[in-house]
Amino acid sequence: MTDSAVNASDELPSEAEDRRDDLKWAAAGGIAAALIGFTGMAIVGTASSFEARRLLDAVLPTVRFAASSYVAGGATILALMLTLITFSITLDMEFRASHYNRIRQIAALTTAVIVGSVILLMFLSFPLGEADVDRDWYLGVYYAVLFGGAVTGGTFISIVLMLFYAVRELIHVGENPTEAAIIAPETDE
């Protein structure tokens, strides 16, 4: 990997625009997934402070499972990104800056999901149902847990879509490296 491949400013305008389009679609997918989570909450209806504790007890196992899955999936993605970087460096082709910038973005977002999911899991490890507080507290915690679950889930969906776009570009390299958008043209020196 050359120094020029590391700088975002070295991307061609068309490369940066293609990557932005991919990011927009990935963000749209993540936002759609989060909205589906919020819509599910709206379909159930707003919780009253009297039923919030019961609803919280019902939703905790599912959110714990989902957050644990995001941590495991994120760790796997980061390990596979190391493999992708090794592949990119050892291949006898020069990759454009956009390829490395895409890897950097996926790794950063994956790290954010892992951190957010671990924080959510730490919060959920507290004995929330045993707290000696007024009922309104449970209402706030219930909505916070639903919000945290929807946001981490939506972000994970965005990561999966970003990975899809990265894999799609690598498939183009395998099919026809001379026409692949992420391969820099050979220059005669």
* Confidence bin at 45 (pLDDT 50/70/90): low
The backbone torsions φ and ψ at residue 179, rounded to the nearest 5 degrees and listed phi first, read -105, 0
**Residue given tokens 């956009």 in the structure block:** 98
Model confidence at 3, in pLDDT bands (50, 70, 90)?
A: very low
Which pLDDT score, from 0 to 100, does residue 2 have? 43
The pTM of the full predicted model, rounded to 2 decimals, is: 0.80
Q: What does the CA dihedral 169, 67, 75, 92 come to, rounded to 10 degrees? A: 0
Please give the single-letter amino acid code of residue 101. N
87-141 pLDDT, tens digit per residue, is 888 878 888 888 888 899 999 999 999 999 999 999 888 876 666 777 777 888 8
Q: Which amino acid, one-letter code, is at 64?
A: R
- Averaging pLDDT over each range in 13-17, 83-87, 160-164, 185-189, which range is the top one? 160-164
The pLDDT, as a whole number, for residue 4 is 39
Burial of 139 (0-12, 13-18, 19+ CB in 10 A): buried
Question: Could you give the percent of the chain with pLDDT greater than 70?
Answer: 85
4 or 7: which carries more pLDDT confidence?
Answer: 7
Give the CA distances from residue 107 to residues 75, 159, 172, 174, in Å, rounded to whole numbers and listed in that order. Answer: 10, 9, 22, 23
